Amino acid sequence: MNYYFHIPFCRQKCAYCAFYSLPHPENAQFDAYLTHLEKTLSATANPCAETIYLGGGTPTLLDAPRLKKLFDLIRQAIPLAENCEISIEANPETLDEEKIFLIRDFATRISVGVQSFFAEKRTRLGRVCSDGALQRALKLISEAKFPHFNCDLIYGVPGESKASWAHEFDFLADLPVDHLSCYALTPEEGSRLGGNYPVDDDLADDLWELTATFAREKLGLTRYEISNYAKPGGECRHNVNVWRGGLLRGYGPAASGFDGVDRMTQVGDFAAWLAGAPAELDHISITERLNEIFAVNLRTTGGWTREMWTRVPHADAWILRQNRARDLQNRYSGVILITEQKIALSEKGLRYWNTIAEELLE
């Protein structure tokens, strides 16, 4: 089983973010969250965890005693596999030595929302973090020697250039990162930037292509998913499992889960979640669900193998998946690679994943 915990608190809402979160929370809200989470966990039988992911929001906005309580609640309620991967998202301005000590004792993987090493670019993104706070946090994380260390970066910000994007990787080269997530700026409805924010799509496409080169040459990381790069063994197992249709249990407001057939999303309202509002059920046919799972994992460079597909809940025949892939091959030149044992997108196909996914979901 894979677990996701949504900790829905942020010091301030970043301008590009449309995820559910509560800016400027009060201590009473932190305590109410932990109390309700404890009640929910204790009322549920939780299978052994292969992976656990703590996201947000900003999990590390909790002070050290509350962060410890969160970790203890999880340890007490969920049995952990011997090699369980535990990931936590962190914002640099919320970290200090005490929190790093607690996180290092609990998590095997830390993911830091840097977004940019340039203060001016962070300001344009509405990302409140000083250079001093960023450097202090990265120094603490580096010294703690986490087994896995990820940084998030955003590209395609107006005014950005290929040269400035390359320079981001020069900063990264001084850090012991084994994973990198790079996302094109995509202003969404519900974010402060809004859906009409001007974005240079051509520049973003160029930077996406250059990212693979910079990650490989400057950091020794290889693309394994459209937006993710890693050293061998550094891939985020939680995400890989979810992309492949693995079972997922979600805790916290707006957290999602998957039982092999249906997706369940907890209510995206803190007060309603505290009141015990039921999760929203996404129930579709098995065929539609298999098409969805098949499309999602085509975001990875490895795609699908016959053996992997057999592990998907209610998987249909491999030949049916090959036939769907051949339909795409006939319609779009050079986007998909098919053998008897494997189906994967080419680099060109990864660039046009959205279009291909729409075809597969029809």
Write the pLDDT tens digit of every residue in 278-326: 999 999 999 999 999 999 999 999 999 999 999 999 999 999 999 999 9
Q: Is 90 exceeded by the pLDDT of residue 202?
A: no
Q: Model confidence at 199, in pLDDT bands (50, 70, 90)?
A: confident
Euclidean distance between the first and final Cα of the chain, in Å?
Answer: 29
Q: Are 54 and 8 in contact (CB under 8 A)?
A: no
Q: Please say whether the beta carbons of 292 and 361 come within 8 A.
A: yes
> How many whole angstroms separate alpha carbon 209 and alpha carbon 212?
6
Look at residue 187 and tell me whether its pLDDT is greater than 80: no
Q: Per residue in 45-86, pLDDT tens?
A: 999 999 999 999 999 999 999 999 999 999 999 999 999 999
Residue 17 has pLDDT above 90, yes or no: no
113: Cβ contacts below 8 Å, ≥ 6 apart: 58, 89, 90, 91, 92, 127, 152
Q: How far apart are CA 352 and CA 349, in angstroms?
A: 5
> Average pLDDT of 131-137?
97
DSSP code, position 195: T
- Indicate the domain borders of the chain: 2-240, 285-362
* Check whether domain 2-240 has CATH 3.80.30.20, yes or no: yes
Residue 196 reports pLDDT greater than 70? no
Percent of the chain with pLDDT over 70: 97
Question: Which pTM was predicted?
Answer: 0.95
Residue 197: the pLDDT is 65
CB 23 within 8 A of CB 8: no
Mean confidence (pLDDT) of the chain: 94
Give the β-pairing of 2-7 and 248-251: parallel
pLDDT of residue 336: 95
DSSP characters over 65-132: HHHHHHHHHHHHHS-EEEEEEEEEEE-GGG--HHHHHHHHHH-SEEEEEEE-S-HHHHHHTT----HH
Distance of CA 281 to the CA centre of its chain: 22
Three-state SS at 273: helix
Q: What is the pLDDT of residue 84?
A: 98
- In angstroms, the CA 338 to CA 325 distance is 7
Residue 79 to residues 38, 43, 75, 129, 297, Cα–Cα distance (Å): 15, 15, 7, 36, 27
